[in-house]
Structure 1
Amino acid sequence: MKFLSSLALSTVFAATALAQSVGIGAPPDGTTVSAGSNITVEIDRPPTLTPSTEVAIIIGFLSCGGFASSCPPPSEILGTILYNGPYDPEFSSSGGGVNHRPYQNFTVTIPSSASPGKAQLGVAHVALVGAGQYPFLETHNITLNVV
């Protein structure tokens, strides 16, 4: 019986965490960027009924050329930090429809020292979730092509 209770509790925590998950809305995976250029990173968060307190977003950049196969995941290394600060997603004042969700845009600069080739834009999201406000951390990434 304890096993079923633990399984049910684990399922609730997993579902709650997934409801708080963010996504990289822009730029699209595989976007070509220039070293030293500014890009807009859109971080989307689907609406949820679970109470949460947003803590921070960290956006990092990592050139992949120095790694044997591919960039390590952002949960291991974010690289050069392009943004580290508050996250306050809001609904757009225009539009709507099925894909309407809170988001926040961040303008960041690709390092001028970035090596040409594959790179990774990594995002770490930190929030406090649920009535008890437990800490929640997730990471996401997309591939960029630096020219």
Structure 2
Amino acid sequence: MVQDTAYAQPIIEASLTIGLTPCTEAACPAPNSEILHVLYIGGFDPQRPVTPVSYDPGSVAFQNFTVTIPSDAVAGAYTLGVFHTYWGESASLYSSPGSDNATTAVTVVSA
């Protein structure tokens, strides 16, 4: 589930990337800096639930994704990251680009 952020201005969705990157001993990288395994690149069309859901009291817009971990991903610690790009509309005639990202730590285990 990828939740949408509440933006101060209207936006035009550009793309969403979901990726998996192994962590080093020092840190887990952010998806706006590097991704080893790209799991999804495409559109992002978050929808608000018709009725509020118990795990999301604010009922923010979201979209569910199912991805497959590549067979060459060795067991260990990874960052599952999402990188979102968009164009922000403003009072002027011009739109400006924007992005945001989120990560969560995951552990890949051998099947």
Query: What range describes the TM-score normalised by the shorter chain of this pair?
Result: 0.7 to 0.9
Report % sequence identity.
Answer: 30
Contact 2:52 2:58 in 1 (8 A): no
User: Aligned-pair distance for 1:122?
Assistant: 1.1
Deviations 1:75-131 (A, max 9, x none): 220221100000111111332573211111111011122211111111110010122
Aligned length: 104
What amino acid is aligned across from residue 141 of structure 1 in structure 2? Answer: T
**Among candidates 75, 78, 83, match of residue 116 of structure 1:** 75
Contact 2:89 2:96 in 1 (8 A): yes
Which of structures 1 and 2 has the bigger CA Rg? 1
Contact 1:78 1:123 in 2 (8 A): no
Give the gaps of 5 or more residues in structure 1: 1-41
Residue 143 of structure 1 corresponds to which residue in structure 2? Answer: 105
Return the TM-score normalized by structure 1: 0.63
Higher helix residue share: 1
Residue 73 of structure 1 corresponds to which residue in structure 2? Answer: 30
RMSD over aligned Cα atoms: 1.8
Give the gaps of 5 or more residues in structure 2: none
Runs of 4 or more above 6 Å deviation: none
Deviations 1:4-63 (A, max 9, x none): xxxxxxxxxxxxxxxxxxxxxxxxxxxxxxxxxxxxxx1111444511111110001112
Return the TM-score normalized by structure 2: 0.82
Cα distance in 1, alignment partners of residues 8 and 32 from structure 2: 27
Question: Against the structure 1 CA distance between its residues 117 and 102, is the aligned structure 2 distance closer, same or farther, given a 3 Å change threshold?
Answer: same
Residue 28 of structure 1 corresponds to which residue in structure 2? Answer: none
